Amino acid sequence: MDTLQNISFIFENFYKITHARLSLHDIELNEIIAFPQKNLPFCTTIQKDRMGKKRCQECDKIAFETVRRTGKTYSYTCHCGLTETVAPIYHFGILSGYIMMGQITDTQFRHKQRIREEAAPFFDGSEQLSAAVLQIPEITSELISAYISILTVISQFLTQSNFISNTPSQRPQNIKNYIDAHFRENISVNTIALELDCSRATVMNCFKAEFGTTVNNYITEKRLDLASILLKGSRDSVKSIAVTCGFHDQNYFSRVFMKNFNMTPSEYRLKHSKKTP
């Protein structure tokens, strides 16, 4: 079996046990594979409404961003009261996708009431709403917690197996994500190329084509942005701030800072300290 067949097999068997829908998403949040392939009638009806679809997308976007930022499995309640969970998947240490479990609710009556109240505007009367709500799998909170633990194990298995690779379309964003997470360290184009398992030329060319700037310029920009914040908001020495931001040569830091801000780090700090009441 190829990679997607393996994942589909895992998802199908997970569904047989849990009745929770699993879906795999790339770094751009596009759905790659899911089981079942179709959403619940409840979710399908809501997403036929323009505002309903927008609210679903906003919930998902917030969840994916939370997982991207924390690197941890994240469980939440969607805008219509269903329980959803997202876990990260990495490829050789780089975030490459997400696995999502959802379209379930727990057995507590108050949750079913909330679902009816939140979803009512998207349905043509109580009869259609009741029929859709009856099809939502009801699972105890204890079992949901157990399923979330299994989901986390699946995401770790996919990560350790490096199943989800960085496709060419994902590569520029993966490079950016790596820089955002590691710019304070002593990183270079070589470092990034090794992490993403591609050539130096690929790193430099695809990043510039996507973002209109070079990798080195972007790293410097991230370091200077942080340095400007620390110069204004901390009492650390210029040398300490330089090291914190990834500049291990204070003289080089001062030259680069002068080139971008038309003043030295010390002058910048003095200028902004005068504005502080």
Token pair of 219 as six digits: 């790293």
Say if residues 21 and 34 touch (Cβ distance below 8 Å): yes
Residue of 168 and 240 predicted with greater confidence: 240
- Backbone phi and psi for residue 86, each to the nearest 5 degrees, phi listed first: -125, 135
Whether residue 136 is predicted with pLDDT greater than 60 in this model: the reply is yes
What gap in Å lies between CA 183 and CA 193, rounded to an integer? 15
Q: What is the pLDDT of residues 89-107, one digit of tens each?
A: 987 677 788 999 999 999 8
Q: Given pLDDT bands bounded at 50, 70 and 90, which one contains residue 157?
A: confident
- CA proximity to 152, closest of 265, 14, 28: 14
What gap in Å lies between CA 144 and CA 106, rounded to an integer? 8
Q: For position 1, what pLDDT does the model report?
A: 46
**What sign has the CA pseudo-torsion 185, 189, 190, 191?**
positive
**What sign has the CA pseudo-torsion 85, 18, 92, 243?**
positive
Tell me the whole-structure pTM to 2 decimals: 0.62
Q: Given pLDDT bands bounded at 50, 70 and 90, which one contains residue 17?
A: very high
Nearest-10 Cα torsion for 153, 159, 162, 165: 120
Q: For position 168, what pLDDT does the model report?
A: 64
Domains and CATH numbers, the chain: 3-160 (3.30.450), 171-273 (1.10.10.60)
Please report, as a single letter, which amino acid is at residue 18.
T
Q: What is the pLDDT of residues 177-199, one digit of tens each?
A: 889 989 999 999 988 888 776 77
